[in-house]
Structure 1
Amino acid sequence: MKKIRFIFCKLTVLFMFICFLGKPVTPLAEGSEIPSDTKDQMQIPLEGKDIVPQELIVKFKSSVSSEEKNNILKSVDAIEISSLKKGAFSLVKVSGNLAIQDVLKVMRGYKLIEFAEPNRQVRNAYIPQDPRYGEQWHLEKIKMKETWNHTMGSSDIKVAVIDSGVQLDHPDLAGRLIDPYDVITGSSTFTPDEHGTHVAGIIGANLNNIGVAGIASNITIMPINVFEGDAADLFSIVEAIHYAADNGADIINMSFSSNAYSLVMEQAIEYADSKGVLLIAAAGNEGSETKTYPAAYEPVIAVSATDSKDKLASFSNYGSYIDISAPGSGILSTVPNGVYGYMSGTSMAAPVVSGVAALILSSNPKLNADEVREIILASSEDLGSPGKDIYFGAGRIDALKAIIKTLPPKDLLIVSHPEFYMNGKNKNIISVNAPSGKKVGLYIENSNRQMIKKLAAKDNWSGGEIIAEWDGKQGNGLYAYGGSYKVIAAISDGSTKTFHTEDIKIIDQINPAVKLSSKK
């Protein structure tokens, strides 16, 4: 039998191809009403450079049989090459001899097809237009282009840059700098310096079609100058740490180091940590295993530097105190006089981590410093020896993995009825979303901080949402009195434990049951 060439110019020709071997499949009857979803798909363009050649996505009705589906595909010389589970969608490949637009018109006529449209290539929603973005290899390495599709940061997140002076009027930092402070003079102005301006640009240079791109372009930066010439003294650094912690910094970036341990600096670090500030510091550039400070203090994330080949940079310090590594060799960023320049050092690696940390907090501002730290380390790209090592720590930072691993705040702990009108029959639905591998406890506490009801306990949670119901009964079987209570989710990995709480008020509407005895 000769192969028939399809000509779709006339409606009568359309119906020539609905009869074939097997059970016939009926297209829409002439004059019948077009379903609403068919009207919607009429708006889908059938042409464009993004269309994958000869591929369609087809949704068959749930009532379609395998035989009917095969017959439809045969009618247009097509095959199913993939499908989602439960048959929700089919990826269909059409013969190269047929025009995809013509095949679509035919397939949309079948009653057993809900809709069909071309398969298309989807590009990243955001492609930086900053002219020197292509020179910033570190952004490609940590997958920033993909990460910006999720977040570019929030202005509510504040990163303190304790460093030398930042150029406050640099065009690529416009709108990003707030509350500048010079510890040396006590003023809000200082002389711009290459180092501080470069560090600030790595963290938050604007995505504004000029110059370079920063990692977290929508966050705010608090520049604090501690340098007088080429040197900064210990007391000025301690004062700067206190200033940042007392003025709302969420993150402190410290791109400086010293081989000398200092008790006063350690106490300043502990003070900032007690205020909930995430502390990040450069490991230093001597190519040595000697501990450096503030990086080696316990609360601080210590950062070593990598090159474009994911090798430890030749200048980078290393050692058991290293927590993570980040690109730090040949990094392009902002410098004074409104221009740009390359610099290398762990001083450049630390702000890469600070920028990613700012994006994590932007995605979920309810996270505490320990939780942000855990996300950064757990999502890193393992380099060197498997697991943590002295060169790369947990690995090289990966922004995209970190953001994907960050749970949005609404998914942490949800209580369906913060005011629970308890009547003995209704239930309050409580859910918590926890990562895999965690020990999770979900319970109710009274105003005296006593646990009155355990709702759920998981020793090694597989990850995802835990849902529990509470009817108001305590662990002893009695209903709770009206008043204020807390729902608490405790999430632990064995070494650290975090708590998420929601207040709940119980309004007691249970009618007391009184049993009366009659006297004879």
Structure 2
Amino acid sequence: MTSIKVFPLMKSIFTVLLIVYLFNASGQKPYYESNDWAWQKMGISPNFKKLIGRKQVTIAIIDDAFQLQNPYLEPFLKLNKNEIPGNYIDDDNNGKVDDYSGWDFSDNDNDVNPPKKEIIKFGHGTKVSGIVIEGLNRMLSNNSEFIKILPLKSSSDSRNNNYITNGYEAIKYAVEQKVDIIVCCWSGGIFDKEKDDILKQAQTAGIIIIASGGNFVVEKELFPGAFPWVINTAALNRNLQRQEVSNYGRFIDIAIPGDSIYTVNPLTNDYKNSTISGTSASTAVLGGLFAAVYCAYPNVVTTDWDRLLKNSCQPIEKYNPLHKGKLGAGILDVNKLILLIETQNSATRLSIPKGYIEVNNIASKVVSAAKYPSYKLINAMAQTSKKIIIDVIKWQNNEKIISTLNLENLNSAIFFQADSFQIASQKKIKPKQNYFLYFEAQVIDSSTVYCSETKHLNAPSGRITDGSGEDNYANNSNCKWEIEVAPNKRIKINFEEMDLEAKIDQIYIFSDFGTESPILAIFSGQNLPPQITSWSNKVLIWFVTNNMSNHKGWTLKYEEVD
């Protein structure tokens, strides 16, 4: 068989030309232009002035598999120069033979490619890598010169699915390889002390981990994303609303666009019909974006990144009334992030639900973009014994309350109620002595926002609604109304409005108090139900919703009749 030797320079030129061909030959716009909306939501226009890389950065992406011959991914691959490929010897003595371009932790070999007959099923890693690289291309002028990707496969070829089964082993390996950033577009599984220790090792090493908040449409913390050191992402749609499958909760750090993000097709190497949605997409978007900024600003202290990211967000509560304070600090504003890094001037006015407020003699104020039951405030630095006197000024219902504290009093969290609050030290703090307090709005259970528990009504007539008004009703609602009229009377019920998720969210009408009573009717969907008349002077109305789609809700009118 005749072989062709391709010199390195010719190979590089060929790769670039092939990429240009693959993404333009169809005459359609490249997939990254189809994603313009997502980047523009974060302040990045197509003519964004790209950053200049100044530091060698390695990103470990832990996923199901990676198409190493993909011309889009290939220029970014991290190669282990301590290994001689193909000699079947563990040259670097790390227990992994020929781990030259990554490692498969599920099959315990050096082949991170998907099974040849299952490229689509095991295509997730290639897709998220494509989105990470898109971020590098948009943000950094000399990206492949400074940034490399270490592909770590954590899903077995022999399984019927591409679930991540050895993700924490891959994280441990990435720590040993001294990577800078780890991207985990997955979540879930049993979290134990061994896994906790691995994440603590990454934290001690100063490695930034960006992870998925999960795609289960629940308010449930999943790891590794929920680990305090990890940047945990939720996904947004084009309207800056929670993307329909994204998890939510106080454990989320930041929200990033993640709705039908176009990326490379692992089977055809083009962008046709190749998108991913949810927190996998949002994590990959943030992974590429963050790696570019990390590379361009090498002097940022690792422990400052959480503050810089959160304080660079814009609030999104008005778009997410059912998830206030449960989508992190908001959506990242990249230009604000860059400005904050370059100037190091802390904002004196913040409107995000969680973030960092600097302690100095210039008052900094947090003005909430939504109503919260209370706030948590704690020293963001290591335990301090500094005798710095600060004033915490709180406003609630137009009343001003001033509390004076020593900074060391905030080594443990305090909680207080306020519509807004302000922090200021009583004396000027020396330059370059930065002290920050971390604040976080304490959120409520969204399932009880509009209705909750059981209400007893004994008026002869009245009107009942789901309580959401102009908004959609809440997820996981579980609300009951007991109606009781005069003895020997019955209850006539007429619905005036009806818009529920059909066959899923339902209204049950029982013939007496208690769900063990006979059912008079069950209603769902968008059609107005027929008139219902009870058998006695009592009925129970039970409204139940799941954790998926929300609609406008319902209104009914009842009255006693003979």
Summarize the alignment of residues 363-378 of structure 1 with structure 2, pairs less than 5 Å apart.
363-378=296-311
- Whether 1:492 and 2:427 are equivalent positions in the alignment is no
In structure 1, C-alpha distance between the alignment counterparts of 2:332 and 2:260, rounded to whole Å: 17
In structure 2, C-alpha distance between the alignment counterparts of 1:370 and 1:493, rounded to whole Å: 12
Q: Return the match for 1:183 from 105, 111, 114.
A: 105
Verify the 8 A CA contact 1:363 1:403 in the aligned structure 2: no
Which 10-residue stretch deviates more, 331-340 or 143-152? 143-152
Task: Please name the residue that 2:31 is paired with.
Answer: 132
Q: Return the match for 2:330 from 395, 409, 413.
A: 395
Q: Return the match for 1:224 from 132, 152, 155.
A: 152
Q: Return the match for 2:57 from 157, 167, 179.
A: 157
- Whether 1:339 and 2:270 are equivalent positions in the alignment is yes
Where 2:231 maps in the other structure, the secondary structure is strand
1:369/1:389 CA distance change after superposition, 3 Å: farther
Q: Return the match for 2:188 from 225, 250, 258.
A: 258
Verify the 8 A CA contact 2:38 2:257 in the aligned structure 1: yes
Task: Please name the residue that 1:478 is paired with.
Answer: none
Q: Return the match for 1:322 from 219, 242, 252.
A: 252
Task: Please name the residue that 2:210 is paired with.
Answer: 280
Task: Please name the residue that 1:438 is paired with.
Answer: 358
In structure 1, C-alpha distance between the alignment counterparts of 2:196 and 2:324, rounded to whole Å: 24
Where 2:238 maps in the other structure, the secondary structure is coil
Residue 435 of structure 1: how far off its partner (Å)? 3.7
Residue 395 of structure 1: how far off its partner (Å)? 0.3
1:304/1:334 CA distance change after superposition, 3 Å: same
- Aligned residue pairs total 299
Verify the 8 A CA contact 2:50 2:139 in the aligned structure 1: no
In structure 2, what residue type is equivalent to 1:191?
N
Q: Return the match for 1:292 from 209, 212, 222.
A: 222
Where 1:334 maps in the other structure, the secondary structure is coil
Residue 222 of structure 1: how far off its partner (Å)? 1.3
In structure 2, what residue type is equivalent to 1:285?
N
Task: Please name the residue that 1:406 is paired with.
Answer: 341
Residue 277 of structure 1: how far off its partner (Å)? 0.5
Residue 166 of structure 1: how far off its partner (Å)? 1.6
In structure 2, C-alpha distance between the alignment counterparts of 1:313 and 1:176, rounded to whole Å: 30
Task: Please name the residue that 1:170 is paired with.
Answer: 70
Where 1:159 maps in the other structure, the secondary structure is strand
Verify the 8 A CA contact 1:238 1:264 in the aligned structure 2: no
Per-residue CA shift, 1:258-280, capped at 9, x if unaligned?
A: 15432222211111011001111
1:188/1:296 CA distance change after superposition, 3 Å: same
Indicate the RMSD between aligned Cα atoms, in angstroms.
3.3
1:175/1:460 CA distance change after superposition, 3 Å: farther
Where 1:404 maps in the other structure, the secondary structure is helix
Residue 233 of structure 1: how far off its partner (Å)? 6.0
Residue 182 of structure 1: how far off its partner (Å)? 1.9
1:172/1:385 CA distance change after superposition, 3 Å: same
In structure 1, what residue type is equivalent to 2:280?
S
In structure 2, C-alpha distance between the alignment counterparts of 1:259 and 1:330, rounded to whole Å: 25
- Whether 1:145 and 2:88 are equivalent positions in the alignment is no
- Structure 1: any 5+ residue segments left out of the alignment? 1-127, 208-212, 412-432, 442-458, 468-488, 497-520
In structure 2, what residue type is equivalent to 1:257?
S
In structure 1, C-alpha distance between the alignment counterparts of 2:249 and 2:135, rounded to whole Å: 34
Q: TM-score, normalised by structure 1?
A: 0.52
Where 2:77 maps in the other structure, the secondary structure is coil
Task: Please name the residue that 1:426 is paired with.
Answer: none
Q: Percent identity?
A: 25
In structure 1, what residue type is equivalent to 2:333?
D
Of structures 1 and 2, the larger Rg is shown by: 1
Residue 319 of structure 1: how far off its partner (Å)? 0.9
- Structure 2: any 5+ residue segments left out of the alignment? 1-22, 80-101, 115-121, 348-356, 362-422, 440-562
